Amino acid sequence: MNQIIRCKNCDAIIMKTPFDQYPEYELSPEGSFEDFRMIEKDDFQDFLILHHGHQLENLKIIEDSFVSERAYSEPVKTSFFKATNGKDKFVVKKFREKIDEPLKYQLISGDYSLQCTTIEIQEKEISKQLINEVKPPLSQTQIAAFLKLYRHVAEDIDPKALERVSEESPHPLEIYYKMDDLRLMYLLRNCRNIFKGPQYSAMEEFIYRHKDNGVLLLKATYKIQFTEIAKPEKKRVSVASLMGKEKMVGK
Ligand SMILES: [Zn+2]
């Protein structure tokens, strides 16, 4: 388990990973085997020397607090998470400016929260699966009617009232949710007006097959909302400087 250590005197932090006594091997951007470089990982030792005699404390990462504007797979990016010493809450910026640099961690003043900007149905994926799976095949008009109905079902939905699907989306600001039972019943009831007989049965099966982890999941997109605190800590980077220009951060 990763552990964060904060120096109370300097307001500096370091991530202590179980591997930091070992050198870290990283592939060069060119990717050839001969170009493997070794990065010395005695950062933690350096931190202890630098903060000798200072008061250190452990911070615990607050689960599910991780946010970033870039995909998880993106190596060069800035992300944020929250940590606590049991009493106070801290906002940590995690970043790397170049692909061959180790990750850096920094405490910042201010706070952030996620704000849902849109919630939508996965139209393209649904159409594709309807064409592939439903027998007897649906007409274009029926597919369009189903999409229209499902869009209506998902309208004005509050993601807070929905169950989040635990599978990780490739992007931290895109989260998938299951529709609730009430909306599921409404969807099925209204499908009776569009589909009859064996087609209705096939649609009913389709809905049950896709509602929990398939194309019927609702996709919510979030944005990171940064908030300034009244009296920012002098030593920390102000959250205002983080807005917009990601590249300016940490310089
Ligand atoms: Zn210190």
Residue-by-residue pLDDT tens, the chain, 251 positions:
567 899 999 999 988 765 544 444 444 444 444 333 444 467 778 888 999 999 999 999 998 888 998 887 887 888 999 999 999 999 999 988 888 887 888 999 889 999 999 999 999 999 999 999 999 999 999 999 999 999 999 998 999 999 999 776 788 899 999 999 999 999 999 999 999 999 999 999 999 999 998 999 999 999 999 987 766 566 677 665 665 544 433 33
Which pLDDT score, from 0 to 100, does residue 243 have? 58
Instruction: For residue 68, report the distance from its CA to the centre of ligand 1, in Å.
Output: 28
Domain ranges in the chain are: 3-110+228-248, 116-222
Cβ-based burial of 142 (10 A; exposed 0-12, middle 13-18, buried ≥19):
middle
Q: Are 226 and 242 in contact (CB under 8 A)?
A: yes
Instruction: For residue 21, report the distance from its CA to the centre of ligand 1, in Å.
Output: 21
Instruction: For residue 43, report the distance from its CA to the centre of ligand 1, in Å.
Output: 14
User: Among 44, 59, 80, which residue's Cα sits nearest to residue 237?
Assistant: 80
Which pLDDT score, from 0 to 100, does residue 13 have? 92
Instruction: For residue 116, report the distance from its CA to the centre of ligand 1, in Å.
Output: 38
Which pLDDT score, from 0 to 100, does residue 34 have? 38
Which pLDDT score, from 0 to 100, does residue 209 have? 96
Instruction: For residue 51, report the distance from its CA to the centre of ligand 1, in Å.
Output: 4
Instruction: For residue 221, report the distance from its CA to the centre of ligand 1, in Å.
Output: 39
Instruction: For residue 52, report the distance from its CA to the centre of ligand 1, in Å.
Output: 7
Instruction: For residue 14, report the distance from its CA to the centre of ligand 1, in Å.
Output: 11
177 forms beta bridges with 164, 218
The pair of structure tokens assigned to 210 is 């896709």
Which pLDDT score, from 0 to 100, does residue 19 have? 55
Distance (Å) of CA 197 to CA 60, 186, 200, 203, 206: 57, 19, 5, 10, 14
Instruction: For residue 13, report the distance from its CA to the centre of ligand 1, in Å.
Output: 9
Strands (E), 76-148: 78-84, 89-95, 104-108, 111-120
Instruction: For residue 173, report the distance from its CA to the centre of ligand 1, in Å.
Output: 34
Instruction: For residue 57, report the distance from its CA to the centre of ligand 1, in Å.
Output: 11
Instruction: For residue 161, report the distance from its CA to the centre of ligand 1, in Å.
Output: 44
Instruction: For residue 95, report the distance from its CA to the centre of ligand 1, in Å.
Output: 21
Residues whose CB falls within 8 Å of the CB of residue 20, separated by 6 or more in sequence, listed in order: 41, 42, 43, 44
Which pLDDT score, from 0 to 100, does residue 233 have? 60
Instruction: For residue 10, report the distance from its CA to the centre of ligand 1, in Å.
Output: 4
Q: Are 94 and 109 in contact (CB under 8 A)?
A: no
Q: Alpha-carbon torsion 172, 173, 176, 180, what sign?
A: positive
Residues whose CB falls within 8 Å of the CB of residue 153, separated by 6 or more in sequence, listed in order: 179, 183, 186, 187
**Which amino acid is present at 101?**
E
Phi/psi for 135 (5° steps) reads -125, 135
Which pLDDT score, from 0 to 100, does residue 101 have? 80
Helix (H) or strand (E) holding 68: strand 67-68
Which pLDDT score, from 0 to 100, does residue 210 have? 96
Instruction: For residue 112, report the distance from its CA to the centre of ligand 1, in Å.
Output: 26
Q: Alpha-carbon torsion 82, 83, 88, 90, what sign?
A: negative
